[in-house]
Amino acid sequence: METIMTSLKGKHLLTLMDLSTEEIMNILNFAKKLKQMNKAGEAHHYLKGKTLAMIFEKSSTRTRVSFEVGMNQLGGHALFLSRDDIQIGRGETIEDTAKVLSRYVDGIMIRAYSHEGVEQLAANSAVPVINGLTDDYHPCQALADLLTLYEVKGTLAGTKLAYVGDGNNVAHSLMLGCAKTGVDCSVAVPKGYEPKAEVVEKAKEIAKQTGAKIEVTNSPQEAVANADAVYTDVWTSMGWEEEAEVRIKAFQPYQVNSELMSFAAEGAIFLHCLPAKRGEEVTAEVIDGPQSYVFEEAENRMHVQKALMVALME
């Protein structure tokens, strides 16, 4: 069977800084092919006999189902491992866990709190490690977002994506992914909730090579102006529940509603990584309206992750 490329075989994906522009585009194009094959009912067992270990510190719907079903469609097998299922939950070091799992499986996906912990896992793993989410980055989600924009607009370079909300892991990965693929990315956040300065700096550095524009502003209207896609996320991510009341007050002016969408370009789409809280970060008329591609975007998690797993594990 054909492969996407050999440059990624055996490597880790911890952030989108691990991928070149060419590698991202190859993954997106292969994801489109896998999606077509899946819709046509064509077998595509690129990972027959392979096993993916899935470690979950954080609960999930899309991450678990998309990886598990994706591995099954690729002819492989996925193991769900919560902290309570393995010895890491009883004090075994992440280094030992990585070394043991590497003897059993062909790849590891981890959804965790600490990004440093995922880096430790990868540093001690003999098989590819995929970051399924950390507090700092969400690369698989950003790849699905880019695939959705690519499908709808037919191109990435020269388009504009506006992110409105918290400067969190989703915002970080979107900025890096947009910078890598030539997409202008404007991030609007309340004061005090800006994305990490080092991520913004890195994204701007990458953007100089691709022609993209990376901006951070406190004005949602400024960010959304002429955008081809408007994106938001929940105001209170997992682990920040104690700040919920304060955040709701701070983020209220950043709600994505029909008025804010009117600043976007004609034909602009709405994106959200889900789960969503209607009436908070987005109104029902937007997320359930004709501009919304959130469920196509959710489906694309599986297709793009399948392409990624083939690239890393085949």
Residue 270 sits in a domain of what CATH number? 3.40.50.1370
Domain check: are 145 and 193 in the same one?
Answer: yes
Res. 1: pLDDT tops 50 = no
What pLDDT is stored for residue 283 in this prediction? 98
Taken in order 155, 160, 166, 171, is the CA torsion positive or negative?
Answer: positive
Domain check: are 125 and 167 in the same one?
Answer: no
| Three-state SS at 270 | strand
Domain interval for residue 60: 16-137+301-313
148: in domain: yes
Segment 222-248, tens digit of pLDDT: 999 999 999 999 998 777 788 889 999
How many distinct structural domains can be found in the chain? Answer: 2
2: in domain: no
Domain check: are 69 and 82 in the same one?
Answer: yes
Could you give the percent of the chain with pLDDT greater than 90? 92
Domain check: are 118 and 156 in the same one?
Answer: no
Domain check: are 186 and 218 in the same one?
Answer: yes
Kindly report the pTM of this predicted structure. 0.96
Domain check: are 180 and 103 in the same one?
Answer: no
Domain check: are 288 and 155 in the same one?
Answer: yes
Domain check: are 125 and 154 in the same one?
Answer: no
Domain check: are 170 and 43 in the same one?
Answer: no
Number of helices followed by number of strands (H, E) in the chain: 12, 9
Radius of gyration of the chain (CA): 19
Res. 89: pLDDT tops 90 = no
- Point out the residues that are catalytic: 111, 138, 141, 233, 273, 301
Domain check: are 58 and 188 in the same one?
Answer: no
4: in domain: no
Q: 254-265 in b/e burial notation, b at 16+ Cβ within 10 A?
A: bbbeeebbebbb
Segment 133-182, tens digit of pLDDT: 999 999 999 999 999 999 999 999 999 999 999 999 999 999 999 999 99
Could you give the percent of the chain with pLDDT greater than 70? 98
10: in domain: no
